[in-house]
Structure 1
């Protein structure tokens, strides 16, 4: 029989694994989002303006 403390430790271990997996998935999704956003912005900017020449004001 597993003690309550051991059960909690097992559950915490499973939660840590799940959190690590979700963090990895979120990172991958965000990277994809930024790639698509960058491509979309490049398509919408006039050809004479290159994104690397833009500056942030404010």
Structure 2
């Protein structure tokens, strides 16, 4: 799944070499196994809150 964000970034860089700036926050939840995968590209840190605990992501 990591390939998709990097492919999108490459295509944007080819099409708009210096004209655009984009960020990406992508979270994929596997509810069957209770796993969360988080991908961040070019964005400031995010926060993940679970109960009373807050963690910085990215």
In terms of fraction of residues, the more strand-rich structure is 2
Q: Same fold (TM over 0.5)?
A: no
In terms of fraction of residues, the more helix-rich structure is 1
| Structure whose CA Rg is larger | 1
**What is the TM-score of this pair, normalised by structure 1?**
0.30
